[in-house]
Amino acid sequence: MTAAYDLFIKQLKAEGRERLEGFSTSNFRQLTADERIKVRQALVDLVAQHDMRAPVPLSVLSPEGDTLALLEPLAPAAATAAQATDFELQVRAALALLSGRPIVLDALEGVFTKATDNWKRGIAMDGLRWALPASDASPRLARLVRAMDDEDLRADAADTLLQRHGWYLTDAATQAEALPWLRS
């Protein structure tokens, strides 16, 4: 067994605060073919249990059409996304990663702008940040930066937009480039 598989099993069995941290997807590339099958099945089983940790890692591990088909029926309607469960929002974030379709991004944007729960807003921001590069997530975030009256939400939208393009305000190496880019 690879170290990546051992880590997945450890995270799968985690409890308490460690469980909330979810799965480390950066190690998925190091899985063997047999391990990938086992990890995928474990994630599919977690999706069936509505475990909020599973949708995004499943999309990272297996970004194929069958994953999209599995997750699409589990997503809340765009109109009710702000009242969705954490699992349903994670499904929306995973669908943004897989397809980036406007209806998915509409729901995430609605949660970002209307939800009062910071946890839910964070899931929406993650979904917009991870959305398929060919999607219109960046123009949406740029519009939010220009249009939001709430300074905290505007800053969150700006930070999400910058991160989407690999720039982090906390990173001194990219800070000088990030601010002028954001202003433009």
184 residues of the chain, pLDDT tens digit each: 999 999 999 999 999 999 989 999 999 999 999 999 999 999 999 999 999 999 999 999 999 999 999 999 998 776 666 688 999 999 999 999 999 999 999 999 999 998 888 999 999 999 999 999 999 999 999 999 999 898 888 889 988 998 898 876 666 776 666 666 666 6
Spatial distance between the Cα atoms of 3 and 5, rounded to a whole number of angstroms: 5
76: which DSSP letter? P
Burial class (CB in 10 A: 0-12, 13-18, 19+), 22: middle
What's residue 115's pLDDT?
85
pLDDT given for residue 108 in this prediction: 93
**Torsion of Cα atoms, 149 then 150 then 156 then 161, to 10°:** 0
Going by C-alpha positions, the residue among 115, 118, 117, 128 that lies closest to residue 157 is 128
On the CB side of 23, how many CA atoms lie within 13 Å of its CA?
27
Only one residue has tokens 């067994």, namely 1
Residue from 62, 23, 25 nearest 41 by CA: 62
Cα angle, residue 181 at apex, residues 165 and 111 outer, rounded to 5°: 55
- Say how many CA atoms lie within 13 Å of 1 toward its Cβ: 11
Residue 137: its pLDDT value, please?
A: 95
The number of angstroms, rounded, from the C-alpha of 175 to the middle of its chain's C-alpha atoms is 24
Regarding pTM above 0.85, the answer is yes
According to DSSP, residue 170 is labeled: T
